[in-house]
Amino acid sequence: MKTAYLLVPFAPLVGSMLAGFAGKALGRTNTHRVAILGVLVSLLASLWVMNDVWQGNTFNGPLYTWAIIGELRMEVGFQIDQLTTMMMVVVTFVSLMVHIYTIGYMEEDPGYQRFFSYISLFTFSMLMLVMSNNLLQLFFGWEAVGLVSYLLIGFWYTKPSAIYANLKAFMVNRVGDFGFVLGIGLLVAWTGSLDYAEIFAAAPNLEKVTIQLIGDTPWSLITVTCICLFVGAMGKSAQFPLHVWLPDSMEGPTPISALIHAATMVTAGIFMVSRMSPLYEMSEVALSFVMIIGAITAFFMGLMGIIQNDIKRVVAYSTLSQLGYMTVALGASAYSVAVFHLMTHAFFKALLFLGAGSVIIGMHHDQDIRHMGGLRKYMPITWITSLIGSLALVGTPFFSGFYSKESIIEAVHHANVPGSGIAYWALLSGVFVTAFYSFRMYFLVFHGKPRFAAAHEAHGAGHGTAGHGAAHGHADAVVASAAAAGVNVDTITITGDGADTITITGDQVDTITITGDAVDTITGHDAHGHDAHGHGHGDHHAHVPHESPWVVTVPLVLLAIPSIIIGAIAADAFITGRYFEGVITVFDKHPAMEALTHHWHGWVAMALHGFTSLPFWLMVAGIATAWYFYLVNPAIPARLQQTFKGIYTVLENKYYLDRFNEWFFAGGARRLGSGLWKRGDQGLIDGLVVNGSARLVGWFSRVLRQGQTGFLSHYAIAMIIGLAFLLFWFLPLLASAQ
């Protein structure tokens, strides 16, 4: 079986290397073939390994010894068990769907081969993370997915917003990784090992150990270690306040948005805490900390989804909120339920992201949901699959998301960890919020009167050659100003009256000519504005929405199937915890999982009971409210915005956490760097070491030069003094030493 184990991570790696180093020689078609083949082989091998594990065959051992320092062994090894195989299948299946989808989505992008190389490398990195049996390999995978995400978020590296987004992701994740490294260091220092099994075996001896961090106050070693490890998870799995990077990751192409949000990077923290359950079970403080952070994220990030108008950002804030649900479950010691929601969420969230990408393609790369409406008639496959994803997300009975989400709420209700009461009501409130913002997006996109005709009435008056490089016309008012920035514009001619604003950013625009009246806004975009890539449009008719090609719709259909059925299939094994027996540790003093098992009567009974539960009616209320606000009486949201302008401003500014992070983390890093440069480099190294040593040598030279008189008598006296020193001090000292 070791061959199968190796095939899982290394098949995508081979595909990545071929696409990256030989992409130009292979051409576009062969590049995506080798990349997809690599992930397909990985998926098939993962299914084979999962079947073997179901039969009771697990593996835990080293494959390669990298280094030995004293008694500390640094190895590459695999731990193949139920948790690992579940993650392997989820990661490879979603990755395969994303790879196929990419053929259509990135069809005209000049970085086509490079993108396939990146996403295959991303898949390899995540697989190495989940398959690891030691902290060293875990950290390698942890950092590798961070590195590739940096490249992918900034894939369109000519966009300033993309550069800002990937730098933000890099900075915030390094803050989390600092805590993660400290946690790993504490474990290595006190157990002398990087191996999971050895650490868990030594853990009971550390339960009563205390350390001093500030003054003489004792701190529990296990608590400090678990919190440090969780800080890493806060960065990687985007928990408050280290969540700020995730919405900005939308600057990358939609396929990678699906990978980052659905099945890979952001789930790494949830996986890590579940793997480290033997440690977390020893600390009530750490569990309470995890639960409170998750509750804050679940509710307050959900509120952010209400005000978003970019279709991908709505789904992005949904990811943040659902990650909060998973994190709360971890704090309730319901690790198997957290992982259950991780799995169901991977399918329906990938479906929603790819559905959003399909809408963006159909709308010719307009991402604003206010410019859509009535798309179900034009995009029937995208419509029905997006509806399935939305129903799964809000927790509709019989859909996959219901079983995992309902179980989390019930587990928190039975938890006895401090803060569980607050978390319970935060999750219940989050049910209404999730249903409201999800169906707000759904209704605005697929129902109601079409708004894209008005939004694109003046479209066609100046599309550049490099992908939406020129102008989008929007009809309706009078002339005022024209501004051009960052672009080689030879001529802008406006004839007639009625142009309100012209804004152009990008490059290589030769001529924009506008004749007539009633032009409200012309907004130009750079070569990849609106998540776009080289689509030229010649007239108004080009902007009628259309269904996406089969390479886009087939992954949607394939993801819709598990979004409906996988919850019912896996519910028994995950909700009772039976599937993870011997893999995940839960102490008897934490009753949440026991209560879930006691109330479990099968997936049909659970779904039927769900129709009578409070979360279901909160979900219905959220959907009904969204329907009334945006289809029946759309004036209400505008009035509410004016009435609660202060709250809206806070939400629009993202709770001002971006500013805090820019001031504290980014600004702090700049101030630290500036201080090290001025005082460390210029002051200490250049001033003291380099220039100081030069000054010291010069001083000695000047002193010694005084003795170089040129008189023979002076040299003779110096020789006599040296001889006397040798005879009367040095030789007696040498003799006494012997």
| pLDDT tens, position by position, 389-433 | 999 999 999 999 999 999 999 999 999 999 999 999 999 999 999
- In this predicted structure, the answer to whether residue 150 has a pLDDT above a threshold of 50 is yes
596-603: long-range contacts at Cβ-Cβ below 8 A with a sequence spacing of 24 or more?
596/334, 596/337, 596/407, 596/410, 596/411, 596/414, 599/410, 600/572, 600/575, 600/576, 602/572, 603/403, 603/567, 603/568, 603/571, 603/572
664 pLDDT tier (thresholds 50, 70, 90): confident
- How crowded is residue 68: how many other Cβ atoms within 10 Å of its Cβ? 10
> Alpha helix (H) ranges present in 307-419?
311-331, 335-362, 380-394, 400-414
The type of residue at 474 is H
Query: In the chain, what is the straight-line distance between the N-terminal and C-terminal CA atoms, in Å?
Result: 70
Provide the pLDDT for residue 487. Answer: 38
Output the pTM of the full model. Answer: 0.81
- In this predicted structure, the answer to whether residue 477 has a pLDDT above a threshold of 90 is no
- In this predicted structure, the answer to whether residue 540 has a pLDDT above a threshold of 70 is no
Q: What gap in Å lies between CA 528 and CA 466, rounded to an integer?
A: 8
Which phi and psi angles does 291 have, rounded to 5°?
-65, -45
Provide the pLDDT for residue 494. Answer: 47
DSSP secondary structure letter of residue 58:
-
Give the 3-state secondary structure of residue 591.
coil
| pLDDT tens digits along 78-130 | 999 999 999 999 999 999 999 999 998 888 889 999 999 999 999 999 999 99
Tokens encoding 422: 């607050």
> Alpha helix (H) ranges present in 550-602?
550-575, 592-598
pLDDT, mean of residues 442-458: 78
Tokens encoding 504: 């152009």
Q: What gap in Å lies between CA 396 and CA 379, rounded to an integer?
A: 23
Provide the pLDDT for residue 93. Answer: 93
- In this predicted structure, the answer to whether residue 474 has a pLDDT above a threshold of 80 is no
Out of 39-53, 91-105, 225-239, 673-687, pick the least confident. Answer: 673-687
- Residue predicted with more confidence, 252 or 275: 275
Q: Residue 67: is it exposed, middle or buried by C-beta count within 10 angstroms (0-12/13-18/19+)?
A: exposed
Return all residues near 336 (Cβ < 8 A) that are at least 6 apart: 274, 574, 575, 577, 579, 580, 584, 593
pLDDT, mean of residues 37-65: 93
- In this predicted structure, the answer to whether residue 460 has a pLDDT above a threshold of 60 is no
- At what angle are helices 614-627 and 400-414 packed, to 10 degrees? 130
**What does pLDDT average to over the chain?**
83
Out of 105-109, 259-263, 344-348, 535-539, pick the least confident. Answer: 535-539
Provide the pLDDT for residue 702. Answer: 77
- Residue predicted with more confidence, 37 or 674: 37
Provide the pLDDT for residue 323. Answer: 93
pLDDT, mean of residues 117-146: 93
